[in-house]
Structure 1
Amino acid sequence: MTVARRDLIVVGASAGGVEALRAMVAGLPADLPAAVLVVLHLKAGGTSALGTILDRSGPLPAAAAKHRAELAPGTITVARPDHHLLVADGITVLSHGPTESGHRPAIDALFRSAARAYGHRTIGVQLSGVLDDGAAGMVAIAAAGGTVVVQEPTDALYPAMPEAVLRFLQPDHLVPAHELGPLLGTLAKEDVVPAGPGRVSELDEAEVAIAMNGDSGTGRDLAAFGEVAGYSCPDCDGALVALRDTERCRCRVGHAWTAEALLDAQHDKLERALWTAYRLLEEKSSFARRMQQSAAESRIPAMERRHAGTAREAAESAEVLRELLLSGLPPRRVVMPDGDGAS
C-alpha cells in the first residue's frame, strides 16, 4: 500500500475571486507542505498584480509563474496573462496553447494537467466566478483520486463557477472562503492512499497535450472523442466536435468551449453582427438620401422616388434593429447532439 501526501493545491477563480483568494491565503499555515498554483481569469493584453496582492495577504510567498520552475512546498504561484499555467513532472509549464471558453489562462487546463501529473496527491479548489470554467477539470481531478474543495456558493460574490462543479460532483468539502486556508493546511498534512487506478481519461490526456503544445489530440482526430456538433467555433469559425459524455466542444485547432461559454460567445457574436448591420443600414439610408437630393436637383422624379423609398426602407429597418439591440437580445438555448445543453 502506497501512502502519500497531498502536495499540490490548484485553485481556480474568476469574478469575485480576488476577495476569496485573499481570505484563503490569509488562513494558510506558514509550514504548508504543498505547492499552490492559482489561475484567475485575466485579460490577454493586461498585467496582473495578483502575485503581489497574495504575497501581502498571508504567510506564504506568492509570485507570478515562470516557465519550467520547480514546484516548491509553501509557495504560491500565480498564472500570467495570456498563458496557460500547467504542471508536469514537478515543474510549472507556461503555454500559449488554444484558449478554453475564451480564456488563457484557463482553469480547466490547469486542473487537468494537475490530475494527470499528481493524481490523488492533488487538491482542486473552485472559487467565485461566472459561467463554468473549472467544472470539467474538477471531474478529472476526482476521477484521478484527487480531493475536490468548493467555495460555498452562498459565500461567493459570483456563485456560478462553484455551482457548476456541484452539478457534476459531490465535493469532498464545501466551505466558505475564510475556512479554506485551515482546511487546506489540514488536508496537505494528511496521509492519503489511492482509491482506484488514479488515471485520467484518454480524452483528458489529449486535452492536456492540446493545452501544453497545441497538438490537437496528439495526432488523433478529435472526432474520435465525439461527433460534429453543427456549430462553428467563435474564435476561428472552424467546425466544433461535441465531446462525448461532456457538455463541451472543441474545434480542430484546439479551441475549447463549455456549453455555457459557447452560448455566451454566440450571443456576443450575434450582437456584434446586428450592430454591424445597423451601421450599414444607417449608412445606406444616408447615402440614398444624398442620391435622392441629387435626383431632385437634376429633375429626375422617378429616380428621386426610387432613392427616397430606399432611404425610408433602410431607415425603418435600422430602427427595428436599434430597438431590438437596446432592449437586450434574448438568450438562445444550445443543445448538444447527445441532448445535453445550457440555457
Structure 2
Amino acid sequence: MPAFRRDVVVAGASAGGVEALRALVRSLPADFPAAVLVAMHLSPSAHSALPLILDRSGPLPALPATHGAPLRPGVIHVAPPDHHLLTDDGSMVLTGGPTENGHRPAINATFRSAAVTAGPRVIGVILSGALDDGALGLRSIVDRGGLAVVQDPADALYSGMPESALALVEAECVLPAAELGAALDKLVRTPVDGADARPPSPALLLEDRIARDGVRLGSVAPGELPPSGYTCPDCQGALMEVDAAGQYRCRIGHAWSAEALLGAHDTEFQRALWTALRSLDEKAALAERLRQNSEHRNHGLLVHRYAGTAKECTAAAETLRKFLLSLTEEQELEGLP
C-alpha cells in the first residue's frame, strides 16, 4: 500500500457530548482536509438539532448524513436518529441494523464500519459519555492501523467513555475537547507509510455485516460462539460471547458490552422493584379500606387482620421506597442514565 493521508475522522459521543462536539468543531480549521462523521446517542423518535448546532459552532458545514451520499472532505456528517451511520467506498450508508448497547445510531457500528472500509486512513475520536460505548469500535480502528484520539477524562462532563477507551487502546493523543481540532488537523495532514496496513479480522467483518445488512448472528455463525449464560435486555434471547473483552450478541444481533449489559439489567431490576412498590402501596390502601368497612360493621377480628396487613405493607413500602431513592441518587452522582 503506497503512502497516504488519513482522510476519515469518526467521532462518538453520548452524555455531555454536545458541549464536547461543539468545542471540537469550533477548533477545526476551515480548510480541514478530511471528512468527519459524528455518531451520538439519540432518542429514536426525536428530531435531532445536532447538525444545526454543530453547523453554527465552527467554520465547517455540518449536515445530516444521507444514505448513498459521498463523504466530503471538510464536511461534518451527523448520524440521524434511529439509523446506524456506516461507510462504503467513500460514501455513507444508513441502516436500521440491530441496536448496540440499546442505541441506534451506535458509536461502535460507525467506528467498525470505518475500520473495515477505510482501514488505516481512519482516526477515531471518543468524547464525553457514560459507560463504555465506542471503546471496542475504537480498538477496531487501531487494529486496522488507524489512530485513536480521546478527550481528556478530566475535561469530559461524563468520563466513562474516555476512560473505557483509554483502558482498551493506546491513544495517539489525550486532550481537552477544545484542543482536539488542532491535533486532528496535524494528524490528517501528515503522510503515512502504508506498509503496515492490516487486514480486517473475520470477527470484525462479521460484526460489520450484522450492522450493515441486518443479518441474524444465528444464521451466519451457528454453534460457533460460546453461550454467555445471560439474556438480551432488548429481546430476552440468549446472548453469545463474541469478544473476550466482554462483547455479547443475541441471535437477532443486538449487541451489548459487559458494562452496558450490567446497566441494562440494573434498569430491569429497578423497574421490577418499582412495580413491587406500587403493588405494596395498592395492597396497603386496599387493606385500609377493608379495615374501615369492617370497623363500620363491627367485625373486630377482620378489623385487626386488615389493620395488620395495612401496617406491614406500609412499612415494607417505605423501606423499598427509601432503597429505590438511594439508587436514583447514586446514579445521578455517577452520571448514569
TM-score normalized by the length of structure 2: 0.90
Question: 1:285: which partner in 2?
Answer: 284
Amino acid of the structure 2 residue aligned with 1:315: T
Task: After TM superposition, give the deviation of residue 285 of structure 1 in Å.
Answer: 1.9
Amino acid of the structure 2 residue aligned with 1:289: E
Contact 2:119–2:197 (8 Å) recurs in 1: no
Query: Per-residue displacement from partner, 1:203-254 (whole Å, max 9, x unpaired)?
Result: 22121122223212383236524x2222222222222223332222212212
For residues 222 and 80 of structure 2, the distance between their equivalents in structure 1, rounded to whole angstroms, comes to 28
Question: 1:276: which partner in 2?
Answer: 275
Contact 2:247–2:255 (8 Å) recurs in 1: yes
Query: Per-residue displacement from partner, 1:167-212 (whole Å, max 9, x unpaired)?
Result: 0111122222222212222222222223545222222212112222
2:225 aligned with 1:255, yes or no?
no
Query: Per-residue displacement from partner, 1:74-96 (whole Å, max 9, x unpaired)?
Result: 11101111211111122111112
Amino acid of the structure 1 residue aligned with 2:40: L
Alignment CA distance shift 1:330-1:183 (3 Å): closer
**SS of aligned partner of 2:245:** coil
Question: 1:334: which partner in 2?
Answer: none
Task: After TM superposition, give the deviation of residue 313 of structure 1 in Å.
Answer: 2.8
Question: 2:166: which partner in 1?
Answer: 166
Sequence identity (%): 51
Question: 1:327: which partner in 2?
Answer: 326
Question: 2:333: which partner in 1?
Answer: none
Correspondences of 1:294-313 after superposition (within 5 Å)? 294-313=293-312
Query: Per-residue displacement from partner, 1:243-277 (whole Å, max 9, x unpaired)?
Result: 33222221221211112211222222111111110
For residues 223 and 88 of structure 1, the distance between their equivalents in structure 2, rounded to whole angstroms, comes to 30
2:74 aligned with 1:74, yes or no?
yes
Amino acid of the structure 2 residue aligned with 1:33: P
Query: Per-residue displacement from partner, 1:69-122 (whole Å, max 9, x unpaired)?
Result: 111111110111121111112211111222111211111110000000000111
Query: Per-residue displacement from partner, 1:290-325 (whole Å, max 9, x unpaired)?
Result: 333334444544444443333333223222212221
CA RMSD, 1 decimal: 2.1
**SS of aligned partner of 2:219:** coil
Contact 2:2–2:195 (8 Å) recurs in 1: no
Question: 2:244: which partner in 1?
Answer: 245
For residues 222 and 35 of structure 2, the distance between their equivalents in structure 1, rounded to whole angstroms, comes to 33
**SS of aligned partner of 1:224:** coil
For residues 65 and 123 of structure 2, the distance between their equivalents in structure 1, rounded to whole angstroms, comes to 19
Unaligned runs of 5+ in 1: 332-343
Correspondences of 1:1-343 after superposition (within 5 Å)? 1-217=1-217, 219-221=219-221, 224-225=224-225, 227-328=226-327
Amino acid of the structure 2 residue aligned with 1:282: D
Query: Per-residue displacement from partner, 1:27-70 (whole Å, max 9, x unpaired)?
Result: 32322221110112212221222111221222221111111111
Amino acid of the structure 1 residue aligned with 2:2: T
Task: After TM superposition, give the deviation of residue 280 of structure 1 in Å.
Answer: 0.7
For residues 112 and 180 of structure 1, the distance between their equivalents in structure 2, rounded to whole angstroms, comes to 21
Unaligned runs of 5+ in 2: 331-337
Q: How many residues align?
A: 330
Task: After TM superposition, give the deviation of residue 329 of structure 1 in Å.
Answer: 7.1
Alignment CA distance shift 1:254-1:86 (3 Å): same
Larger CA deviation: 301-310 vs 117-126: 301-310
Alignment CA distance shift 1:292-1:236 (3 Å): same
**SS of aligned partner of 2:74:** coil
TM-score normalized by the length of structure 1: 0.89
Alignment CA distance shift 1:40-1:131 (3 Å): same
Alignment CA distance shift 1:195-1:321 (3 Å): farther
Runs of 4+ residues deviating >6 angstroms: none
Alignment CA distance shift 1:43-1:311 (3 Å): same
Contact 1:87–1:113 (8 Å) recurs in 2: yes
Question: 1:340: which partner in 2?
Answer: none
